[in-house]
Amino acid sequence: MAGAGTTPDDPYIGRGFVRADGPAKVTGAALYVDDVRPRGCLYGATVRSPVARGRLKGLRRDPDFDWTDVVIATAADVPGENVIALMTDDQPVLAHDELRHVTEPVALVAAPTRDRALAAARHVEVLYEALEPLFDPLKAADNPIRIFGDDNIFSRLEMVHGDGLDGMAQAEAAGARLVRGSYAVGLQEQLYIEPQGMIAQPREDGGLTIFGSMQCPYYIVKALKRVLGHDRLNVVQAVTGGGFGGKEEYPSMVAAHAAVLALKTGRPIKLIYRRDEDLQATTKRHPAFMTYTTAVDPASGRILAADVDLLFDGGAYNTLSPVVLSRAILHALGPYAVPHARLNARMVATHTPPNGAFRGFGAPQVMFAAERHLDRVARAMGFDPVALRRTNLYRDGDVTPSGQRLFDVASLEVLDRALAAAEAPLPPSMVATRPGGGQAAGRRKAGRGLAIAWHGCGFTGNGEAALAGEADVSIDGHHVLIHTASTDIGQGTDSIFPAIVADVLGVDVQRVHNAPHDTADVPDSGPTVASRTAMVVGRVVEQAAHSLLDALRAEAQWPGAEDADFDTLLERRPSDAPLRVRARYEDAGAEWDPETYRGDAYPTYGWSCVVVDVEVDTDTGEVLYRRLVQATDVGKALNPVLAAGQLEGGALQGLGYATSEAVVLDDRGAMRNNRLTNYIIPTALDAPPMETILVEYPFAGGPFGAKGIGEIPHDVPAPAVAAAIEDATGAVLDRLPMTPEAVLDALEARETPAETPGAAR
Amino acid sequence: MKIQFELNGAPTAVEATPMARLLDVLREDLRLTGTKEGCGEGECGACTVLIDGRAINSCLVPVVQVRGAKVQTVEGLARDGRLHPVQQAFVDHGGAQCGICTPGFVVAAAELLARDPQPDAITIREALAGNLCRCTGYQKIIDSVARTLSGDEEAAR
Ligand code: FES
Ligand code: FES
């Protein structure tokens, strides 16, 4: 399997070639940030706000603690600007005036051992005057308690499609039925198994090297330039133990803290979060409150118009919230054609820890609502849920709410293929439950649910053209190096890019490597987010490989060079001068108006259908997963093993979102269940056997036709589970997570008089 | 105090406080950083090692408890430059993604395969239920263990 040469007839792409970092990871040789200990390093720890809101009055060191060897840094030690540069400059590196959320960083300590640093941090008391906090997102807008701007709204978006609300009125007048429902989702933690961590190492030129766990090296460069007041820094990614968005923007904070301590002490600083601290302090998925009204034709089941209101809770600082809201509104109607719609969305501020990037980025929230709403329509109007979806799914030529016309739509194929696979019996080798089940078996009810997702791949609108991400390819002796800022966080970038280049050059993939993701060397390829790495940067890498061939041919003075293969060109090079070529993302620019949200919202879309089988324990409310089938359009599976693995991991994260992952906040807004004993992610026993069908509707703009697949698997497992619970028991759940208590409540509500069809809840 | 035990087949002695976590002694004192820390409270299994052949979370074990015991870490699984069959299976079948959980999984799986060379999917899931993975959804981990080659098959490769 591995190591085979590549010829045009035997390419790597499309095969399950072995990942480049596999051996290092299975032997424990791969170096994550906590595995590295620079000579003379000190350990950092963070002193955090104990209150949701207050005026900072100072710090008090416990006089009984031994402070020898301990260095403390505060906002006054930030050499440049006290701000984490991202979208707006509202979030400080260290609080200096008002405390805006519990766990907000206030001071830093450094000490010779980790235990000493943690102990010292515990003995620094934050002095403050308590102020009244604002926690309720539903009351945040225009509240006299001010958090952001003059109305506590980080961002607001409105879209009108077709005739908007007039379309709704016309449909109603023509006999359409109005169905209204409200849906809500809570916080979710990314829970990468490796906590956040960063090392800052002073350089000889007075600058710093940052080394650590991250998705986006250039975010840290951008943030630290302002914090340091100069740009003598380079950022290097360590092997990173998962991100899921949680290491998109937050690492800038960790890096800034390590940097401040490194400058103050002149020593390397290692700053690794404890799990409980990571859970309480870092970003999570945004909670959302969503109301949908649709006008539905009673005969055909066509959705004729929709009115959608979205309210997202951003927490205390803006982070990337406006972009999350943007993706939410653009995906809010799910994969269904609706001729007239009005959509409203607001992102509000509260005094809770800031929410941020998490796989799906606003889409899982709205697609839970959209899919649950469709099930409500089916229930209220007597339609079969699958038939109703089939009626309304996008087809080729349909137009999205932003006015984008869709082509190569895989919606019906993913539906049919997932259904067909789910109809076949589970292969005996995959069965994951022991037969029997004893007493519990009698009170368990089995059910099946289905949901369908669409997901825009890459940045919104003209984002990619504006960013113009770059990638280099160079020759290193007999080997080829790829230089990008696109990190491997488990999804396989360090294996996928080399396979792309190996196929373009026609060489053994063992000779092609991703260079270390060090900003001193790699160009800015853009962040490793938004399902864009393989599709967008992969294409740039592909182009760079072609440019390398062109460059070799251009320097060759001999006849026939234009048809020669890579190795011949390499052998006959006129000199062994270094050769490095660069490619840049190019497109004509999408038709996109960021003011009106009209135009081509995304370069292309992926499609996915998830079918989940559950058993619901009607005594305990527990939901047991028995099987999950997904059929997902990936454009082209660059590596089917890695692609299926990423989709399966995303689906399980979605099942956790569905039932077990509840974040409970205390009266200060702090996560109360901040341990792995009480924030419950699925184990191998909780996870169902998973079957993954890769559907390939190629995207001409991606390498070999590939689309982005990183986020779509998280989009609709949760509504599929809700539908399965309803199928099994008749209980209707419209909020996440569907904990055992929530399921029991819903089972009980089932016995009370049925809700008036179509009434608001 | 001085604590002696067998580590990956070799006699080892370390100077450590008795209550120091075995995890820290391995990582910090012996610089065997293949054993990972994901939670520090016995929930994630990233720190799994074998103590006298049993899979244990090393973050919960005071080093004094392994006095005289045989400790095996992920670094001790490969022999003579050849991956342990279960390590090879993880490489071949997509068992590792970000990899932070992987050392714990291969150690736990090696223990399972030592007592049950041909476990079915249920047995594998039960044996690995103490190890958390956030990347794979477990299916490819289960497949990797189920498809781990026996010694004979390994030789025929
Ligand atoms: S670190 Fe030991 S179980 Fe998580
Ligand atoms: S591979 Fe990332 S946590 Fe398991």
pLDDT of res. B50: 98
* Interface-testing mutation among A35, A193, A647, A652, with chain B (most B C-beta atoms within 10 A): A193
Q: Is residue A376 within a helix (H) or strand (E), and if so which, with residue range?
A: helix A363-381
Strand bridging mode B2-7 / A604-617: unpaired
Among the atoms of ligand 1, which is closest to the Cα of residue A676?
4
Does the structure show a pLDDT above 60 at A3? no
Which is nearest to B94 in space by CA: B35, B137, B130?
B137
Ligand 2 site, residue B67, Cβ cutoff 6 A: no
Ligand 1 site, residue B86, Cβ cutoff 6 A: no
Name the CATH superfamily for B85-151: [2Fe-2S]-binding domain (1.10.150.120)
Q: Select the residue of A27, A649, A676 nearest B43 (Cβ to Cβ).
A: A676
Point out the ligand nearest to the CA of residue A648.
2
Which residue, chain included where needed, has tokens 């945040």?
A: A140
List the structure tokens of A320.
């990337």
Strand bridging mode A592-593 / A208-212: unpaired
Which residue, chain included where needed, has tokens 């939670």?
A: B39
Question: Do A429 and B120 count as a contact with CB atoms less than 8 A apart?
Answer: yes
The one-letter amino acid code at A197 reads: G
Instruction: Kindly report the length of chain B.
Output: 157
pLDDT of res. A39: 97
Question: Do A649 and B128 count as a contact with CB atoms less than 8 A apart?
Answer: no
Which is nearest to A708 in space by CA: A558, A514, A493?
A493
Ligand 2 site, residue B135, Cβ cutoff 6 A: yes
Ligand 1 site, residue B40, Cβ cutoff 6 A: yes
Q: Give the C-alpha separation, A466 to A279, whole Å.
A: 34
Angle formed by the axes of helices A640-655 and A717-729, nearest 10°: 60
Identify how many contiguous H helices and E strands chain A contains and give both numbers.
18, 25
Ligand 2 site, residue B134, Cβ cutoff 6 A: yes
Q: Which regions in chain B score pLDDT beneath 70?
A: 150-157
Question: Do B41 and A195 count as a contact with CB atoms less than 8 A apart?
Answer: no
Which is nearest to A471 in space by CA: A539, A518, A520?
A539
Which residue, chain included where needed, has tokens 């870490």?
A: B73
Q: Select the residue of B75, B121, B136 nearest A429 (Cβ to Cβ).
A: B121
Confidence band, pLDDT 50/70/90 cuts, at residue A197: very high
Residue B54, Ramachandran bin (φ over 0: left; ψ between -120 and 50: alpha; else beta): beta
Handedness of CA A695, A696, A702, A703 (dihedral sign): positive
Handedness of CA A412, A414, A415, A417 (dihedral sign): positive
In B, which residues are within 8 Å of A32 by CB distance?
33, 36, 100
pLDDT of res. A439: 66
Q: Give the C-alpha separation, A327 to A337, whole Å.
A: 17
- Identify whether the C-beta of residue A690 lies closer than 8 Å to the C-beta of residue A613: no
For chain A, give the percent of residues with pLDDT over 90.
93
Cis amide linkage into residue B11, ω under 30° from 0? no
In A, which residues are within 8 Å of B91 by CB distance?
18-19, 22-23, 26
CB atoms within 10 A of CB A396: 11
The one-letter amino acid code at B66 reads: V
Can you name the residues that pair with A158 across neighbouring β-strands? A344
Distance A601 CA to ligand 2 centre (A): 32
What chain B residue is nearest to A677 in terms of C-alpha separation?
B43
In A, which residues are within 8 Å of B47 by CB distance?
none
pLDDT of res. A9: 62
Q: Residue A239 gets which letter from DSSP? A: B
Distance of CA A26 to the CA centre of its chain: 26
Which residue minimizes the CA distance to atom 4 of ligand 2? B133
Ligand 1 site, residue B44, Cβ cutoff 6 A: yes
pLDDT of res. A441: 74
- Identify whether the C-beta of residue A347 lies closer than 8 Å to the C-beta of residue A149: no
Q: Select the residue of B43, B103, B139 nearest A689 (Cβ to Cβ).
A: B139
Second-level CATH architecture of A22-30+463-589: 2-Layer Sandwich (3.30)
For chain B, give the percent of residues with pLDDT over 90.
92
Rounded mean pLDDT of A722-751?
A: 96
What average pLDDT does chain A have? 95
Ligand 2 site, residue B99, Cβ cutoff 6 A: yes
In B, which residues are within 8 Å of A190 by CB distance?
134
What would the pLDDT profile of A679-692 be if each residue is shown by its tens digit? 999 999 999 999 99
Distance B132 CA to ligand 2 centre (A): 8
Alpha-carbon distances of A346 from A325, A326, A463, B37, rounded to whole Å: 7, 10, 21, 39
What would the pLDDT profile of A582-612 be if each residue is shown by its tens digit? 999 988 678 899 999 999 999 999 999 999 9
Confidence band, pLDDT 50/70/90 cuts, at residue A557: confident
Contacts of A580 (CB under 8 A, 6+ apart): A472, A473, A474, A475, A483
List the structure tokens of A568.
């011949």
What would the pLDDT profile of A81-122 be if each residue is shown by its tens digit? 999 999 999 999 999 999 999 999 999 999 999 999 999 999
Phi, psi of A160 (to 5 degrees): -125, 130
Distance A357 CA to ligand 2 centre (A): 19
Question: Do B91 and A19 count as a contact with CB atoms less than 8 A apart?
Answer: yes
Does the structure show a pLDDT above 60 at A320? yes
Q: Give the C-alpha separation, A280 to A285, whole Å.
A: 13
Ligand 2 site, residue B101, Cβ cutoff 6 A: yes
Does the structure show a pLDDT above 80 at A440? no
Confidence band, pLDDT 50/70/90 cuts, at residue A10: confident
Distance of CA B77 to the CA centre of its chain: 8
Q: Select the residue of A25, A191, A645 nearest B134 (Cβ to Cβ).
A: A191
- Identify whether the C-beta of residue A215 lies closer than 8 Å to the C-beta of residue A320: no
Can you name the CATH fold of A393-458+601-751? Aldehyde Oxidoreductase; domain 4 (3.30.365)
List the structure tokens of B101.
């959980």
Which residue, chain included where needed, has tokens 């590196």?
A: A93
Q: Select the residue of A18, A243, A690 nearest B139 (Cβ to Cβ).
A: A690
Per domain, the residue ranges of chain A are: 22-30+463-589, 34-132+197-281, 393-458+601-751
Point out the ligand nearest to the CA of residue B58.
1
List the structure tokens of B67.
């006095």
Rounded mean pLDDT of A61-76?
A: 98
Ligand 1 site, residue B57, Cβ cutoff 6 A: yes
Does the structure show a pLDDT above 70 at A438? no
Its pTM stands at: 0.96
pLDDT of res. A637: 97
Angle formed by the axes of helices A717-729 and A740-751, nearest 10°: 40
Q: Give the C-alpha separation, A332 to A310, whole Å.
A: 9
* CATH node for B2-75: 3.10.20.30
Among the atoms of ligand 1, which is closest to the Cα of residue B59?
2
Rounded mean pLDDT of A693-709?
A: 97
Does the structure show a pLDDT above 60 at A754? no
Our mutation pick for probing the ligand 1 site, out of B35, B47, B107, counting the most ligand atoms within 8 A of Cβ, is B47
Contacts of A576 (CB under 8 A, 6+ apart): none
Quote the minimal CA–CA distance from A691 to chain B in Å: 9
Q: Select the residue of B43, B94, B142 nearest A641 (Cβ to Cβ).
A: B94
Distance B36 CA to ligand 1 centre (A): 8
Point out the ligand nearest to the CA of residue B101.
2
Q: Give the C-alpha separation, A216 to A251, whole Å.
A: 8
Does the structure show a pLDDT above 70 at A4? no
Rounded mean pLDDT of A544-565?
A: 95
Rounded mean pLDDT of A614-641?
A: 97
- Identify whether the C-beta of residue A49 lies closer than 8 Å to the C-beta of residue A103: yes
What would the pLDDT profile of A504-516 be if each residue is shown by its tens digit? 999 999 999 999 9
Question: Do B134 and A433 count as a contact with CB atoms less than 8 A apart?
Answer: no
Instruction: Kindly report the length of chain A.
Output: 761
Reduced to 3 states (helix: H, G, I; strand: E, B; else coil), residue A158 is strand
Distance A114 CA to ligand 1 centre (A): 17
Q: Is residue A303 within a helix (H) or strand (E), and if so which, with residue range?
A: strand A303-315
Confidence band, pLDDT 50/70/90 cuts, at residue A80: very high
Distance A725 CA to ligand 2 centre (A): 29
Q: Give the C-alpha separation, A294 to A373, whole Å.
A: 9
Our mutation pick for probing the ligand 2 site, out of B93, B134, B140, counting the most ligand atoms within 8 A of Cβ, is B134
Distance of CA A165 to the CA centre of its chain: 32
What chain B residue is nearest to A30 in terms of C-alpha separation?
B34
ipTM: 0.98
Quote the minimal CA–CA distance from B8 to chain A in Å: 13
Among the atoms of ligand 2, which is closest to the Cα of residue A242?
2
Which segment of A175-189, A227-241, A747-761 scores lowest on mean pLDDT? Answer: A747-761
CATH 1.10.150.120 in chain B, residues?
85-151
Second-level CATH architecture of A34-132+197-281: Alpha-Beta Complex (3.90)
Domains A22-30+463-589 and A393-458+601-751 share a fold: yes
Which residue minimizes the CA distance to atom 3 of ligand 1? B42
pLDDT of res. A256: 98
Strand bridging mode B2-7 / A690-695: unpaired
- Give the number of beta-carbon pairs within 8 Å between A and B: 192
Point out the ligand nearest to the CA of residue B48.
1
Question: Do A16 and B33 count as a contact with CB atoms less than 8 A apart?
Answer: no
Alpha-carbon distances of A70 from A45, A76, A123, A208, rounded to whole Å: 11, 17, 11, 21
Rounded mean pLDDT of A132-153?
A: 97
List the structure tokens of A342.
């009005």
